[in-house]
């Protein structure tokens, strides 16, 4: 009896210690979950401050409700980012473009958010000038987007001072090297000269600032898709060669939760691509992965703000002990930069 009694006492001690540990874990998980719910909830409707929206579903009519239908000049309908025929526009890099109306509402002050799908045909930054919200000859004004010589996405605004030199603009250039023949979802949030965010496929792309221009100004010209005039000499503008789809233009800042709402199939919370098993979940130090495809070359850990916080070469056991407690997302990337599989885990 004394032996059995002692065993029962030890069992009870173990049970209550185990229960206390589980209770602490559940409190931590609940706290993390409630924080994430709070984060997701602080956002606006995607129609708030939407200036114009071109889904490009067989035409370039404005779906924002503001009536800013565009005029298509030679651009051809093409297959969109979902594989649907005649649901996007292709530009030949020679003489094709789309102009939207010249209205003061489309010349807003900062902040501005612009989102779109794009696919580049050629590895030539001189044929990457995608759009200008104030198309003026030989004059940086409004906001324009292009690739830099390293094929990285760049958002810029001009001060309308009559120049196309760096002294007339403010720019931010991302870090992702854009590949030809691949659809990318791009979001640019422009708040000020050194306060911009670029998202490539829903991931904050970081980047560097350049230019010494003044505040953003306009010349009173209409915006144009498919061309930007950055040449100080008389001559044709730079035309875009590639495809454009689902173009949105907002007169407001976007929070991280707004970005998440706008993110397409490969968002950080939901995805239609493959899932991968990760365990234990929640975890405090190591996370194990099962059945990694042979074509996966990199594993990224992404936080709820869309930032890559860790990257690994191919490993089946990841050391995550250095992460702060929270909800994180795994992305398994192939050699082409495409997401092959995802998973979600909680770090205690």
- Quote the percentage of the chain above a pLDDT of 90: 55
Same domain as 210, residue 337: no
DSSP of 238-257: EEPEEEEEEEEEESS---HH
Same domain for 77 and 32?
no
Q: Looking at the structure, do residues 136 and 275 belong to the same domain, yes or no?
A: no
- Of 154 and 137, the structure prediction assigns the larger pLDDT to 154
Q: Which of 262, 295, 322 is the last residue of a domain?
A: 262
Segment 12-29, tens digit of pLDDT? 444 443 444 455 455 555
Q: Using CA atoms, how far apart are residues 147 and 185, in angstroms rounded to an integer?
A: 14
Torsion angles phi and psi, residue 144, rounded to 5 = -135, 160
Could you tell me if 80 and 227 lie in one domain?
yes
Task: Tell me the CA distances in angstroms from 232 to 162, 168, 174, 272, one per residue in order.
Answer: 9, 12, 25, 46
- State whether 55 and 23 are in the same domain: no
| CATH number of the domain bearing residue 322 | 2.60.40.3080
Bond preceding residue 280 cis, omega within 30 of 0? yes
pLDDT recorded at residue 105: 97
Mean pLDDT computed over 309-332 = 87
Considering the domain architecture, whether residues 257 and 272 belong to the same structural domain is answered as no
Is the predicted pLDDT of residue 106 greater than 90, yes or no? Answer: yes
Say whether both 17 and 93 belong to one domain.
no
What range defines the domain where residue 120 resides? 50-262
H/E stretch holding 30 reads helix 2-41
Q: Are residues 204 and 336 in the same domain?
A: no
What's the number of domains the chain is made of?
3
Q: Are residues 25 and 174 in the same domain?
A: no
Instruction: Round to whole Å and give the CA distance between 11 and 23.
Output: 18
Confidence of residue 266 (pLDDT cuts 50, 70, 90): very low
Whether residue 253 is found in the same domain as residue 310: no
Beta-strand relationship, 274-275 and 339-347: parallel
Mean pLDDT value of segment 312-329: 87
pLDDT at residue 264, as a whole number: 62
The model's pTM is 0.69
* For residue 170, pLDDT beyond 50: yes
- Listed residues 233, 262, 291: the one ending a domain: 262
What is the per-residue pLDDT for 37? 47
pLDDT score, position 147: 96
Q: How high is the pLDDT of residue 17?
A: 39
**One domain, residues 308 and 163:** no
pLDDT band at 230 (very low <50, low <70, confident <90, very high): confident
Domain finish residue from 208, 236, 262: 262
Q: What is the mean pLDDT of the chain?
A: 84
pLDDT greater at residue 342 or residue 35: 342
Are 65 and 199 contained in the same domain? Answer: yes
């Amino acid at each position: 009896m004394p032996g059995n009694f002692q065993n029962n006492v030890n069992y009870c001690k173990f049970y209550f210690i185990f229960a206390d540990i589980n209770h602490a874990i559940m409190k931590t998980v609940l706290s993390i979950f409630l924080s994430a719910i709070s984060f997701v909830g602080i956002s606006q409707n995607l129609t708030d401050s939407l200036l114009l929206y071109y889904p490009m579903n067989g035409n370039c009519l404005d779906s924002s409700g503001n009536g800013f239908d565009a005029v298509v000049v030679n651009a051809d309908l093409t297959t969109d980012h979902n594989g649907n025929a005649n649901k996007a526009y292709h530009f030949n890099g020679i003489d094709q473009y789309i102009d939207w109306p010249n209205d003061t509402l489309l010349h807003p002050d900062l902040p501005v958010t612009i989102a779109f799908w794009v696919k580049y045909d050629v590895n030539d930054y001189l044929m990457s000038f995608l759009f200008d919200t104030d198309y003026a000859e030989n004059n940086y004004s409004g906001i324009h987007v292009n690739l830099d010589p390293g094929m990285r996405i760049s958002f810029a605004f001009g001060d309308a001072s009559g120049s196309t030199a760096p002294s007339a603009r403010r720019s931010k250039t991302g870090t992702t090297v854009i590949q030809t023949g691949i659809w990318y979802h791009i979001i640019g949030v422009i708040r000020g000269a050194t306060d911009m965010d670029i998202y490539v496929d829903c991931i904050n792309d970081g980047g560097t600032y350049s230019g010494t221009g003044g505040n953003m100004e306009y010349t009173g010209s209409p915006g144009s898709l498919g061309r930007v005039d950055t040449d100080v000499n008389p001559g044709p503008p730079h035309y875009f060669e590639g495809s454009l789809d689902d173009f949105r233009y907002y007169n407001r800042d976007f929070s991280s939760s707004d970005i998440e709402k706008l993110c397409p199939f490969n968002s950080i919370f939901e995805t239609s691509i493959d899932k991968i098993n990760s365990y234990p979940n929640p975890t405090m130090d190591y996370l194990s992965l099962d059945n990694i495809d042979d074509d996966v070359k990199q594993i990224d850990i992404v936080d709820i703000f869309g930032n890559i916080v860790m990257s690994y070469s191919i490993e089946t056991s990841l050391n995550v002990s250095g992460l702060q407690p929270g909800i994180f997302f795994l992305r398994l990337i192939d050699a082409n930069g495409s997401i092959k599989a995802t998973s979600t885990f909680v770090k205690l």
